[in-house]
Structure 1
Amino acid sequence: MKTSKNVIEKTRKKTEKNINQGDCVYLKNQEELFQVLGIDNAYEKCWVREWPLNANGSPVFEISIKQVSPNQ
């Protein structure tokens, strides 16, 4: 029987990029900056919003981690 520790470690290794909650990132084919609000490594998804925030707030949307590039 596998322990949850082994499952979590394997999931982390599958993630192509080192993206963390709170990071500012770019999306492929876009010049705007986005902030990562949440990450689901098991499904390779993350939730982002445009950064800096708009006066009325910025909508949050889900995107594949493969579509995200770290801000370096």
Structure 2
Amino acid sequence: MHSKLLDKKYRKNNNLICSENLYKGACVNIKNSNKTFQVIGINLDKKICWVREWPFASNSKKTFALEISKITLQIFCSNQSSE
């Protein structure tokens, strides 16, 4: 089960998280996806972060840039892999 890491008082409109509370290694949900992603880099000046699907496959190194405003929820990362 995933738990929310951010208190509601830190949320922006439409349940989007504030970039000041985001950190490298955090697992997040993003708009228009049911998957979990892990933050691997953050550029607060440009309001973007780089994410990869979580849990990630050892043979896959796909990462992509994402506007921080597309993140809808910060969650605990599960250590279980989907096999």
Q: TM-score, normalised by structure 1?
A: 0.71
Structure 1 stretches of 4+ with a deviation exceeding 3 A read none
Q: Paired residues, what number?
A: 58
Give the superposition deviation at 1:41.
0.4
Which of the pair is proportionally richer in helix? 1
* Equivalence for 1:11: none
Alignment gaps of 5+ in structure 1:
1-14
Mapped to 2, the partners of 1:16 and 1:55 lie a distance apart of 30
* Equivalence for 1:71: 75
Mapped to 2, the partners of 1:41 and 1:47 lie a distance apart of 11
Verify: 1:60 aligned to 2:63, yes or no.
Answer: yes
User: C-alpha root-mean-square deviation of aligned residues, in Å?
Assistant: 1.7
Give the superposition deviation at 1:58.
3.8
Q: Secondary structure at the match of 1:26?
A: strand
Name the amino acid aligned to 2:65. E
Structure of greater relative contact order (alpha carbons < 8 Å, 6+ residues apart):
2
Mapped to 2, the partners of 1:40 and 1:55 lie a distance apart of 25
Q: TM-score, normalised by structure 2?
A: 0.63
Alignment gaps of 5+ in structure 2:
1-16, 77-83
Q: What aligned pairs does 1:1-72 form with structure 2 within 5 A after superposition?
A: 16-17=18-19, 18-69=21-72, 70-71=74-75
Name the amino acid aligned to 2:18. E
